[in-house]
Structure 1
Amino acid sequence: MTDRRAAFHALHRAGRPLLLPNAWDHASAAALAAGGYPAVGTTSLGVAASAGLPDGVAATAGETLALARRLVGLPVLLTVDVEGGFSDDPAEVAEYVAELAGLGVVGINLEDGRADGTLADTQVTAAKVAAVKAAVPDLFVNARTDTWWLGVDDPLPQTLARAHAYRLAGADGIFVPGTVDLAILRVLTQRIDAPVNALYQPGGPGLTELGRAGVARVSTGSLLFRAALGAALAAADAVRLGGAAAPAGLPSYAEVQALVSAGD
């Protein structure tokens, strides 16, 4: 397991970012693994919505753990989005994450945004990071700060302060979703002493441009899940309106069946 976690750490290279696609169920993760992606994350929105639950309100601890159990057998490095850790008690967060690590998970994403649209106290999140790293030292903890995501005033100094606190607590990477401004990302990557993770946004900079800004990891977040929902609705509408040719790249029944055994 230590080798797998070290391999995941090594994929984070400033200037040569890891593209981390985010899955929401076994089929999506297995398809991404079969597509040659060395690492796959989970998307908390996809996991929550698939279970009929809201995202970001600590409602999916059980669903997230159950999904991790299904995915760890796949030939891919797995990192799991645990929202804010599903608790404000650092010891409880560490216990939960240690269970994920025991399954074979190599990393987690831990955020400081709260359901009410505010940011958690910096020291509370830092304490969670520290507790997790004490419990599982070689697990990759990607500490996410939602300063831009939540639109706080003057986000740059707050982001840098939070990133510094999370790094002191032991975070291995810093995730700053909500900005793809290359000038801002350059400042972040120059002033944060850790791999910086950006969230890909359609119409924004591509992987190469983000790499030139010093980004070490690019996540797709909920994009793939939402794209799948949109494609499903478009296909249904096409049938209702008289039928249409099969979408390009549509997997066959047999190909999807084969994904079930991908983790054997």
Structure 2
Amino acid sequence: MTTEPTVTTFAGLHHRPGLPLLLPNAWDHASAAGLAARGFQAIGTTSLAVAAAAGLPDGEGATREHTLALALTLGSGPFLLSVDAEDGFSQDPGEVAELARELWAVGAAGINLEDGLGPVGRHAAKIAAVKAAVPGLFVNARIDTHWSGDGDERETLRRLDAYQQAGADGVFVPGLSDPERITALVRHLEVPLNILYSPAGPTVAHLADLGVRRVSLGSLLYRRALGAALDAAAGIAAGHAPAGTTPTYAEVRALERSVSVSRSANATG
């Protein structure tokens, strides 16, 4: 039996008209704990950061075990966790379903699966297999027609329809920022639409007005953090004090303790 969405469930956070889920994406337990401390109820992971940390290519199925390891680290945190699992790290729906079971077992509430413009039927089969194996796991089906394709509207709708019918709980169209096209997709869909935030695109408030139910930050925070570190190093070398926010040593240690406390509470609760 599937639990009906409420505002306290991950699915429920996608069903608040006018208040989309703003999902920041973390890359380690400190970044996740810091975001949770700022009041974010749900946090995602970003495959780019997982791959970059391991020195592996993103989007090429090389980081399954690294993704699981991060999910294990974050799954007991005081927030709802959604895992970026690329395309499921396999073309076999059964193997993708097994990955979903493993993620669910360590505490993940959602999974993001990208189609990479591969065969529609194959991706739909992965979605159906995951929902059959773990009905409670929120499946966000990513369509890459605007990310790595030409944004063809008919192809986008064809994929959206197939993934909805396969049981996806939400759909994700990164690279789409045109308000009129976003509105058209919202009207067409029966499930929540997820849009990737872009500093050059609509604001979160504007996306909310368009009917978007989830706004992801993707790798933006990780890239910003990396950029800030590089700028700080270059600035120090040039004789300048670093600008921006710098958490103290004690503040970072406090984030470590918050994760440890959460794990202990989950283990004894």
TM-score of the two chains, using structure 2 as the length reference: 0.92
**RMSD across aligned C-alpha pairs, in angstroms?**
1.5
Percentage of pairs with the same residue: 57
- The alpha carbon displacement at 1:141 in A equals 0.1
Counterpart of 2:225 in structure 1 is: 228
Distance across 2 between alignment mates of 1:138 and 1:102: 11
Counterpart of 2:10 in structure 1 is: 8
Distance across 2 between alignment mates of 1:262 and 1:45: 26
Counterpart residue identity of residue 208, structure 1: A
Report SS of the residue matched to 1:227: helix
Distance across 1 between alignment mates of 2:135 and 2:54: 31
- The alpha carbon displacement at 1:155 in A equals 1.6
1:169 to 141, 166, 171: 166
5 Å-filtered alignment, 1:29-48, equals: 29-48=32-51
2:106 to 92, 103, 122: 103
Distance across 1 between alignment mates of 2:70 and 2:110: 15
Counterpart of 1:216 in structure 2 is: 213
Report SS of the residue matched to 1:87: coil
Native 8 Å contact 2:76 2:106 kept in 1: no
1:201 to 170, 190, 198: 198
Report SS of the residue matched to 1:124: helix
Counterpart of 1:259 in structure 2 is: 255
- Runs of 4+ residues deviating >4 angstroms: 2-6
Counterpart of 2:71 in structure 1 is: 68
CA gap 1:5/1:228 in 2 versus in 1, 3 angstroms? farther
- The alpha carbon displacement at 1:71 in A equals 0.5
- The alpha carbon displacement at 1:11 in A equals 0.5
Distance across 2 between alignment mates of 1:14 and 1:199: 18
Native 8 Å contact 1:43 1:222 kept in 2: yes
Distance across 2 between alignment mates of 1:5 and 1:77: 14
Counterpart of 1:241 in structure 2 is: 238
Counterpart residue identity of residue 161, structure 2: H
Q: Deviations over 1:192-217 (max 9, x none)?
A: 11100000001211111001111000
Report SS of the residue matched to 1:85: coil
Report SS of the residue matched to 2:33: helix
Distance across 2 between alignment mates of 1:242 and 1:54: 35
TM-score of the two chains, using structure 1 as the length reference: 0.94
Distance across 2 between alignment mates of 1:34 and 1:249: 16
Counterpart residue identity of residue 101, structure 1: W
Counterpart residue identity of residue 45, structure 1: L
CA gap 1:101/1:59 in 2 versus in 1, 3 angstroms? same
Native 8 Å contact 1:107 1:142 kept in 2: yes
Counterpart of 1:116 in structure 2 is: none
Equivalent pairs, count? 256
CA gap 1:3/1:233 in 2 versus in 1, 3 angstroms? farther
- The alpha carbon displacement at 1:5 in A equals 7.8
Counterpart residue identity of residue 71, structure 2: A
Comparing 154-163 and 133-142, the one that deviates more: 154-163
5 Å-filtered alignment, 1:64-213, equals: 64-113=67-116, 119-152=117-150, 155-213=152-210
Native 8 Å contact 1:185 1:213 kept in 2: yes
Distance across 1 between alignment mates of 2:56 and 2:256: 25
Report SS of the residue matched to 2:76: coil
- The alpha carbon displacement at 1:159 in A equals 1.1
Counterpart residue identity of residue 133, structure 1: K
Report SS of the residue matched to 2:108: coil
Distance across 2 between alignment mates of 1:248 and 1:236: 13
Report SS of the residue matched to 1:106: strand
Native 8 Å contact 2:3 2:136 kept in 1: no
- The alpha carbon displacement at 1:110 in A equals 0.3
Runs of at least 5 residues in structure 1 that lack an aligned partner in the other structure: 114-118
- The alpha carbon displacement at 1:151 in A equals 2.5
